[in-house]
A and B are shown apart, each in its own frame.
Chain A
Amino acid sequence: MKKGLLIVLAFFILSLLQVSFLPHFPIGGWVINIVLVSLILVAALGSIKIGVEAALAGGFFLDIYSHLPFGFWMILSLALFFVIRYIVRNYVRFPQYI
């Protein structure tokens, strides 16, 4: 529960940075989406529970600042999470050192 709240808070802050801070630093007109990047990291390294919470929280906050129908970013984030997780679990091996 506590972890879940922390994730919601973290993605809330990330989405604020995405909307109000990062537009100052475009790369060729593109602004990096740190919410999605963080989600990819969570998908690669975190558990499914944390990942789903992160995808829902991140997606919700992106939806707030979007012109698209509510749910677009939430569903996209969830889909992205599961795809990344599937790829990481089946096709990626992290080197293990003793």
Chain B
Amino acid sequence: MYSFFTKHKLVVLLFFISVLLILNLSSQSVRGKFSSLLSPVQSLLWRVGTSGTEIFSEVSKERAQELKTENLFLRQELLLLQEVTKENERLREAFDTFAREEFDLLFAEIIGKEIERDVLLLNKGARDDVKQGMPVITESRVVVGSIGEVFNDTSKVLLLSLKDRVSDVKVHTRELIGVLRGQGRYGVLLDLIPQEEELKKGDLVITSALGGIFPDNLLIGEIRSVEKSDLTAFQGGKVELFFKVGKENSLFILTNYL
């Protein structure tokens, strides 16, 4: 068998190239079928990984997770209350237009992560009416990203930190609108905030409905450092995302916001 390969190198090469061509022509279905076939095993492995990360944590894992979720919930609540107060003060008669939307949430489990990019694989796909562009959030309403590629039974979430991804955001309490630039490897930078505005470490970064991708006022992260220079027209800073890949097993897809 092996001698056949060494004797007929050209035939083997041609065979290899044609296999690659066929695979590329049907790459969507090959990848979709593989991921749907393996999603139960992958889901299990993902859960094991999440438990593994908890072993290294010092605080009681369940308690820490509870507190984190509660904290994010409270921050989200506070955010909503502050928004409502502000809206009431400014435009009482227009309150109806700002009424909080209730989202239709579709539960999905994380089954893996792409090797090269900040993209997660979910176990819900076209069969569950998942469509490209749908926003994805966590249990505590923290934004994760939006749906990219959709297969029959699985789909991919493009994280906010995906390299070169740009999302419209707001800096809470300061009424500042800017953009969040994905840097890859879970890093994001806030940008396009005018120099004359004041940015502070710890400021909350939330979603803006400007881009039409995410609903307004969902938590994203907080500013870790401010980068300001007299040579540039805008300032920005590093943002730490609230969503941590290794800490979540499941996510929610907003199916009525497209």
**Interface of A with B (CB < 8 Å)?**
1, 16-26, 28-31, 33, 49, 62-71, 74
Contact = CB atoms under 8 A, between A and B. Distances in A.
Nearest to A30: B185
Contact of B49 (A22, A49, A64): A22
Interface of B: 1-2, 20, 23-24, 27, 30-31, 34-35, 38, 41-43, 45-46, 48-50, 52-53, 111-117, 119, 121, 149, 184-187, 245-246
A64 B23 CA distance: 10
Nearest to B185: A29
Nearest to A29: B185
Contacts of A65: 31, 35, 112, 114-115, 121
Nearest to A1: B1
A92 B173 CA distance: 61
A24 B245 contact: yes
Contacts of A31: 113, 115
A19 B39 CA distance: 11
Contacts, number: 90
Interface SS majority for chain B: helix
- The 7 A-B residue pairs whose C-beta atoms are closest, nearest first, are A29-B185, A24-B49, A24-B246, A20-B45, A19-B112, A70-B23, A23-B113
B64 to A, nearest CB: 16
Given A64-B30, A74-B20, A33 B115 contact: yes
A68 B113 contact: no
Given A26-B186, A29-B184, A49-B2, 11 more contacts: A19-B112, A19-B115, A21-B48, A25-B246, A29-B186, A63-B23, A64-B30, A65-B35, A65-B112, A67-B117, A70-B24
A49 B184 CA distance: 37
Given A29-B186, A71-B20, A23 B53 contact: no
A70 B27 contact: yes
Contacts of A16: 38, 41-42, 45
Given A20-B49, A20-B112, A70 B20 contact: yes
